[in-house]
Chains A and B, each alone.
Chain A
Amino acid sequence: MVCVEVEHLDKSFGGVAAISDLTFKVQEGIIFSVIGPNGAGKTTLFNLLTGLYRPSGGAIRIKGKDIRGLKPHEIASLGVTRTFQNLQVFMNMTVLENVMVGCHMRSRSGLIAGALRLPSVLREERRVREMAMEALEFCDMADLAGRDADSLAYGLLKKLEIARALAAAPGLLLMDEPAAGLNDTETLMMGRLIERICKRGTTVLLVEHNMGLVMGISHGVLVLNYGRLLAQGSPEEVQRNPEVIAAYLGDEG
């Protein structure tokens, strides 16, 4: 089954092309990484996939559904959530509340019912709390549930964002540089966490600079350069590709 299908995607900002003529497919149930030098258009691609940007041209299909013209929350309701490169944790809430926001799509009580705290709301609150705790436990953060989000260290905030995204029970999770700013041990743990997420049946789309992590856990890799597709394949194939070595890996070696 194909999870994400991108065809001839274009995006330009005031005439400057950030993504041009990009075509690729992601199979369901795998970890798929998008790599490339800074400014290659990786985050732009994520913003297009989640509806925060509108494509200038081309098509994106998620689980067979054309997402053109859909608002971000409508795309989210297809089971797509994400984490952000520059953290977007809700600093005005506790850890648990952050994750409970992740359960938004899995609950339904409205404002009036909530304001009157009807019995149905109480039942749902309990259920949401349980789902949120489950997501926190999955990320080994259950003991931090009551803390204010703004009191957490950077590495924990990154994990909190993941827990929040998982609370939505997504079929597709987009992770924007989950290992940026983490030390080696934390990166290793992050890799394991991503693999466990994938094993749960969630397709993971990963943007990451840490090549060790990418090559270690990915089933497929796509290389972007100046918004264009440079290479695509298994980690081994990509690493052997001379163009990739020249344009990208070569810089590091």
Chain B
Amino acid sequence: MRLAGFYLFALFTGILPVLFPDSYYVTVVGVTICTNVILAVSLNLLMGYAGQISLGHAAFFGLGAYASAILTTRYGLDPWVAMFIGAVLVGIFSLVLSRPILRLKGHYLAMATLGFGIIIHIFFVQMDNLTGGPDGMSGIPVLSLFGIPIDSDLKWYVVMASAMLFSIWLSLNVADSREGRALAAVHGSEAAAQTMGIDTARVKSHVFVLSAVMAAIAGSLFAHQQSFVSPESFSFFFSIELVTMVVLGGLASTFGAVFGAIILSILPEILLVFEDFEVVIYGAILMAMMIFLPQGLFVTLSRRLHCMFASRFQRTK
């Protein structure tokens, strides 16, 4: 019952490629959606559950991607080993960063995370003998699983959808766990949380690391799937987009983040028909949704539905 929504969503993800195995929207856009969902869900752990804004999440995504790219192409490591090393490095890095950065609040935290993201991005561009500079790196080897090379759109869909479902499952579990409740408590009232014995700095730092490592793994997968990375994919704008996904769906709701990621991944595809007007319309939609549905699209919708069903139920009773 606790995971009813999850199983439903898993079923939906599983059926899609069976129904439309050749659809561009399933196997190509679908893979992008999966990546974005993992990132949004991981960011939601930090922003939604713990209430800590981050405008630099793309940096961890990028660090994971570049770790895989560099370790496999320049040092010839096995992709899985590279992914593991990347995740560990990002884990250590984010742990060191978490204490000073999470002491900040509100706009200061926004500024610090934003600055961090931009600094990392500049490093991707400038350290060209390691990262290939603005042109990026190509020729990242194919990932293989149980001896099967993952070399088609459909196979990638399966891999990314599984990773996505796993991250959603993790996130739902966290919400329903001791540290998850502690995070929500920190979000609700930091003073009360402390007097209940919660080491607020510690739980915040834990979730910061988890969120960063999830993003890094998503980055590694992304690098292999694209077989090419360039700094452009990890810019400040992408961090903002991720925040928007989380807030658009509705903070503190895993499926809100999922929903937001799906909408924002599909939106540019739809807006393509407007050609030059794409950017203007995107900005306008963003503003309008935040002004009129500050609680988030998914959360508002599910509340409305909930009320509707509840009142109908009462009438029949």
A and B in direct contact, judged by CB atoms within 8 A: yes
Interface string of B192-212 (1 = CB under 8 A from A): 111111111001001100100
Tell whether A114 pairs with B177 under 8 Å between CB atoms, given A90-B185, A91-B188.
yes
Nearest CB in chain A: distance from B92 CB, A: 15
A114 adjacent to B191 (CB under 8 Å): no
Chain B interfacial residues counted at CB < 8 A: 31
Chain A interfacial residues counted at CB < 8 A: 42
Please name all residues of chain A whose beta carbon is closer than 8 Å to the beta carbon of B174 when the two chains form the complex: 111, 114-115
Q: Give the complex CA separation of A145 and B182 in angstroms.
A: 18
Q: Which of B137-196 contact A (CB under 8 A)?
A: 170-171, 173-174, 176-182, 184-185, 187-189, 191-196
A168 adjacent to B177 (CB under 8 Å): no
Please name all residues of chain A whose beta carbon is closer than 8 Å to the beta carbon of B177 when the two chains form the complex: 109, 111, 113-115, 117, 121, 125
Interface SS of B by simple majority: helix
Please name all residues of chain B whose beta carbon is closer than 8 Å to the beta carbon of A97 when the two chains form the complex: 181, 184
B195 adjacent to A52 (CB under 8 Å): yes
A116 at the interface (CB under 8 A from B): yes
Chain B's closest residue to A46 (CB) is: B195
Q: Which of A91-107 contact B (CB under 8 A)?
A: 91-93, 97, 100-102, 104-105, 107
Q: Which of A51, A84, A111 has the most CB of B within 10 A?
A: A111
Chain A's closest residue to B51 (CB) is: A92
Please name all residues of chain A whose beta carbon is closer than 8 Å to the beta carbon of B200 when the two chains form the complex: 73
Q: Give the complex CA separation of A52 and B199 in angstroms.
A: 13
Q: Give the complex CA separation of A93 and B200 in angstroms.
A: 17
Please name all residues of chain A whose beta carbon is closer than 8 Å to the beta carbon of B252 when the two chains form the complex: 92
Q: Give the complex CA separation of A72 and B170 in angstroms.
A: 30
Tell whether A115 pairs with B170 under 8 Å between CB atoms, given A90-B189, A90-B192, A97-B181.
yes
Can you give 12 A-B contacts (C-beta < 8 A)? A52-B195, A71-B199, A76-B195, A80-B195, A81-B197, A82-B195, A88-B192, A92-B184, A92-B188, A101-B198, A115-B170, A125-B176
